[in-house]
């Protein structure tokens, strides 16, 4: 017997945290009865359904890296009928895959899709501090004072953002390319912070999720991760952002 949210994560339905919400919303049944948070079940004996579909644990785990194009929705479906990241994969995979985290419609770059709920949770839950790296073109030329403020964190929705690693790459006409490494991902966070600091985003591309990099994939292309890449993702890794925080504390003394 296992908790339903754990079974759903193993089946690739959602991360454990998201699965808890799905259960609380009354979308899960066990042997015909609506489940509640904390319920357990045996997938070999019990009829477990999510939105009326039978939960199955025998699917092969898949890990797909997609170079999302701008204009593509980073979700499994869209009420407005717009193209989603799943549409980009076509009929190449029979498994039910889900994007790990989000990348807004105006941005492009690396999106990881998988049916491994445990890994999705490791890469998205704040306590794991999984790093995401972005190459960002902003208007103007942020000075060191502005960059320092961005690195330390600013307030969004009444809460401070987590520290970030930011490096100036080069200038392009009147704009500046930045490399930004973050361990959190509030809704459109980079765009909102950049706007707040007076340097709106012109272009945003995600290049890395943890140890996985976009590489030479062209927009719209995708590939499966190797076993080595998957195993590396599953290993705990010290955050470079956290190391920077610790170093700054040491520098004060």
Active site residues: 104
Please state, in angstroms and as integers, the Cα–Cα distance from residue 65 to each residue in 99, 114, 121, 170, 215, following that order.
Answer: 10, 9, 17, 28, 10
Residues in the chain: 253
- Residue 84 in contact with residue 78, Cβ under 8 Å? yes
């Amino acid at each position: 017997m296992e908790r339903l949210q754990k079974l759903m994560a193993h089946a690739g339905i959602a991360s454990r945290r998201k699965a808890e919400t799905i259960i609380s919303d009354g979308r899960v049944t066990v042997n015909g009865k609506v489940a509640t948070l904390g319920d357990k079940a045996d997938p070999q004996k019990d009829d477990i359904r999510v939105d009326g579909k039978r939960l199955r644990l025998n699917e092969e785990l898949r890990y797909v890296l997609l170079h999302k194009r701008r204009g593509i929705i980073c979700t499994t479906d869209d009420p407005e009928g717009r193209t989603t990241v799943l549409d980009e994969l076509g009929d190449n995979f029979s498994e039910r895959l889900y994007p790990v985290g989000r990348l807004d419609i105006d941005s492009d770059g690396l999106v990881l899709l998988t049916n491994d709920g445990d890994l999705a949770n490791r890469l998205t839950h704040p306590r794991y501090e999984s790093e995401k790296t972005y190459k960002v073109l902003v208007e103007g030329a942020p000075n060191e004072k502005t960059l320092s403020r961005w690195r330390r964190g600013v307030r969004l929705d009444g809460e401070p953002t987590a520290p970030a690693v930011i490096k100036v790459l080069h200038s392009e006409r009147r704009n500046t390319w930045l490399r930004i490494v973050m361990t959190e991902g509030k809704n459109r966070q980079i765009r909102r912070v950049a706007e707040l600091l007076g340097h709106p985003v012109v272009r945003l591309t995600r290049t890395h999720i943890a140890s996985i990099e976009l590489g030479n994939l062209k927009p719209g292309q995708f590939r499966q991760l190797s076993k080595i890449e998957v195993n590396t993702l599953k290993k705990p890794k010290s955050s470079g952002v956290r190391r920077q925080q610790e170093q700054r504390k040491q520098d004060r003394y």
